Structure 1
């Protein structure tokens, strides 16, 4: 059975096919329910989300972002841990490259050449994972970048800033600490003495020097 405590924000959660009808009950309009039930037979994942007040402690909280042609809404789902087959981190940036628009690829290539430890979430990741059309003309490149220390974070944000200045799309990246907490890269780059840090339990302001302490 899945260890719910080990799950992190943006983790992909694969649910057994027979549990999907229960997950979707009361969540969607009738006309798109067949498309979502096909999600299960295609082996597509949901995403681990932050627990909210109405969630009981014995469920796995999940989200499912729908593509534009299915309403682009985000479903709030939940399932018992016994229904989870597998949990995995978001895909690596190098793996999603074939699903990226051609005009994005030089910027992605620059990040890959720098050997930054990037994973991808958001529209590009979902397009890669599902084969459905998630990307639009205003989509961002959403990244998770593992950083081991403040020195690592400073080096990484300098690189992101350089690539972002020339990129045709907005780069929205989170720096992920060894503890799994996250801070937006532009916030770290700003030099603010306090940072808004996110985890699967919520958000909090912490002193800059405490992020990697």
Structure 2
């Protein structure tokens, strides 16, 4: 299961499985709308891949969106894509109130050569047009990095860029073929870091990632 990474968007040939009747109905409606699911982590030793999506209640938009867990056979994936880029997120109407911060971050990332991808509530807001973000929402980012040195530079960039923004930056650095590490954790002086991937969740020596 190494060809799929966490945070990858996937479109399916049929609705995925879910744990309850209510969530199966939500998954079926989501599939019918042509919306993508996001790859998470496998929850068992089977072939199925873990998926997630986030729904709102049109009758009660003030309620917190519901995160739904699902799963599917990888053979049902017909298309995949990395999460949307920062510029796409900045174009959604909800970003208007934070336009200056998004503009500063886009400019800083371009200057630093950092490709920022966005998942979480801001991604769902941009993809669906429904209300997923609120005033205190973090910006969840994922940045692909080639090795530990590149990861250190990306983490330092995020720490510096965040100082000029009106929102907090959360998220991960992705080592293709290896997994993801939380960017703030990478800045800490720890021998081991928590590595997440489609297939695993474990503490590993930082010297072993991105070699």
TM-score by length of 2: 0.82
State the match for 1:87 in structure 2.
80
Distance 2:154 2:204 in 1: 20
Deviations 1:171-191 (A, max 9, x none): 012111132411111111122
Aligned residues: 202
| Structure 2 residue corresponding to 1:167, chosen from 165, 168, 172 | 165
Which consecutive residues of structure 1, in runs of 5 or more, have no partner in the other structure?
none
Cα 1:52/1:36, change in 2 over 3 Å: closer
128, 143, 146: which one pairs with 2:144? 146
Distance 2:191 2:9 in 1: 33
Partners of 2:2 and 2:185 in 1: CA distance: 28
- Gap change, CA 1:170 and 1:27, over 3 Å in 2: farther
Give CA-to-partner distance per residue, 1:100-151, whole Å, 9 cap, x none.
Answer: 5232413432224422022111111111122222111121111111111222
The answer to whether structure 1 residue 65 and structure 2 residue 62 are counterparts is no
Match of 1:155 in 2: 153
5 Å-filtered alignment, 1:19-98, equals: 19-20=14-15, 23=17, 26-28=20-22, 33=25, 37-53=28-44, 57-67=46-56, 69=61, 71-98=64-91
Where do 4+ consecutive residues of structure 1 move more than 6 Å? none
Change (3 A) 1:8 1:114: same
Given that residues 94 and 112 in structure 1 are in contact (C-alpha distance below 8 angstroms), is that contact kept between their aligned partners in structure 2? no
TM-score w.r.t. the length of structure 1 is 0.81
Q: Which deviates further from its counterpart, 202-211 or 116-125? A: 202-211
1:164 CA drift (Å): 1.0
CA 1:5–1:197 in 2, change beyond 3 Å: closer, same or farther?
closer
For 1:152 and 1:5, how far apart are their aligned partners in 2? 22
- Unpaired stretches in structure 2, ≥5 consecutive residues: none
Deviations 1:74-117 (A, max 9, x none): 21212334432212221222232202523241343222442202
Contact 2:2–2:177 under 8 Å retained in 1: no
Contact 2:178/2:210 (8 A) holds in 1: no
**Deviation per residue, 1:35-93 (Å, 9 max, x gap):** 7655334311111121113xx72433221222473752221212334432212221222
